[in-house]
Amino acid sequence: MRPHEQGNNQPIDTSLETQIHTDFQKEMTYGDYLQLDQILSSQQLQSTHHDEMLFIIIHQVSELWMKQILHELSAANECICNHDLESAFKMFARVSRIQQQLIKSWDVLSTLTPADYLQFRDKLGHSSGFQSYQNRLIEFTLGYKNQHVLAVYAHQPELHAQMSVALQQPSIYDAAIREMAVRGLPIDPECLNRDWSQPYQPNQSVEQAWLTVYRNVNQYWDLYELAEKLVDIASQQQQWRFNHMTTVERIIGQKTGTGGSSGVMYLRRALDHRFFPELWSLRTQL
């Protein structure tokens, strides 16, 4: 069978359908809407090595997905504060799917061999994923606060101010805890009025409140669903961290990171942190 023929021996019509619009002299195109000229010209290689393109695109795409995660988490946080948990669930589900994309991206980057990376690593200077402010904002939003990282952004006053504001805001977990208190579950007052810039510390009253939710699912179905959505996000955030660590180890071993961190050792220590700790510890108590 010739390439231009179908199974019924009728030739395929390769001409445009008559209704397809082709005159864009005064109208917006697909590329205009997405600003593709700007996006596709932003891969400015610092070397002549073939694989640097992959390295840049992986990180740029990851930053775009992080932007969407922050968009969803911000809206979900607002919904929880307005006692509209149902609307937040869709946003959390989307975040979870995006996290899956980010996790898989490490598989693509792992095709970069140590010898390949060494061909352009010195061109990065001190730039490093450690400096990703969107990743820091995600951590802040999920409750992992660290005011010391703000020093990295001191040379960008507007960004530093944005990060400082985010550091001072209640996290999405703080919003969830407050919602349990609104629903009449006893929560230690120090969890509801604390210094939001400090890392969240596990509290017995919060664990007991979640235990009540899990032991009375029918009564607290929406809070139960909220908890499980948060667990999904926390679990995949840890998976992303783990895949990040193993990919870095595969490519640079135990070398110091370009940004000055201890590299793999720093990433391994980050795995010791758990988002939403009571949602994990309660499982032992059930």
CATH number of 50-113+132-176+188-283: 1.20.58.480
160 annotated binding-site participant: no
Tell me whether residue 117 is annotated as binding: yes
In whole angstroms, what is the distance from residue 99 CA to residue 65 CA? 8
Cβ(128)–Cβ(259) under 8 Å? yes
Residues of the chain predicted below pLDDT 50: none
58 assigned binding-site residue: yes
CA distance 250 to 50: 19
Q: Residue 250 annotated as binding?
A: no
What does the pLDDT read at residue 262?
86
Q: What pLDDT does 260 receive?
A: 86
For residue 251, CA distances in Å to 87, 144, 168, 284 come to 41, 27, 36, 37
The number of angstroms, rounded, from the C-alpha of 20 to the middle of its chain's C-alpha atoms is 38
pLDDT of residue 243: 93
Buried b (16+ CB within 10 A) or exposed e, 219-257: ebebbbbbbebbeebbbbbeebbbbbbebbbebbeeeeb
Taking only the tens place, the pLDDT of each residue in 79-117 is 999 999 999 999 999 999 999 999 999 999 999 999 999
Q: Where are the domains of the chain?
A: 50-113+132-176+188-283
pLDDT number for residue 151: 95
Query: Quick one: pLDDT at residue 66?
Result: 98
Residue 177 labelled as part of a binding site: no
Q: What is the CA radius of gyration of the chain?
A: 24
Q: Is 33 helix (H, G, I), strand (E, B) or coil?
A: helix
The model's pTM is: 0.91
